[in-house]
Amino acid sequence: MVREVYGVHLSVQEKARLKKMVRSGRSSAQAATRARILLKTDEGWTASRVAAAFDVSVRTVRRARRRYAEERLEEVLRHHNSPTPHCKVDEKVEAHLIALACSPAPEGHDHWTLRLLADKTVELGLVESLSYETVRLHLKKTRSSRGSSSSGAFPR
| pLDDT given for residue 81 in this prediction | 58
Task: State how far the Cα of 37 lies from the Cα of 46, in Å rounded to an integer.
Answer: 10
Contact 101, 144 (CB under 8 A): yes
Residues, the chain: 156
Contact 29, 55 (CB under 8 A): no
Task: State how far the Cα of 111 lies from the Cα of 147, in Å rounded to an integer.
Answer: 7
Could you report the per-residue pLDDT of 24-61, keeping only the tens digit for each? 888 888 888 989 999 999 998 999 999 999 999 999 99
Tens of each residue's pLDDT in the chain, 156 residues: 455 667 788 889 989 999 998 898 888 888 889 899 999 999 989 999 999 999 999 999 998 888 888 888 887 777 665 555 667 788 899 999 999 999 999 999 999 999 999 999 999 999 999 999 999 988 888 776 555 555 555 555
- Cα separation of the two ends of the chain: 70
Q: What is the CA radius of gyration of the chain?
A: 26
| pLDDT given for residue 83 in this prediction | 58
| pLDDT given for residue 9 in this prediction | 83
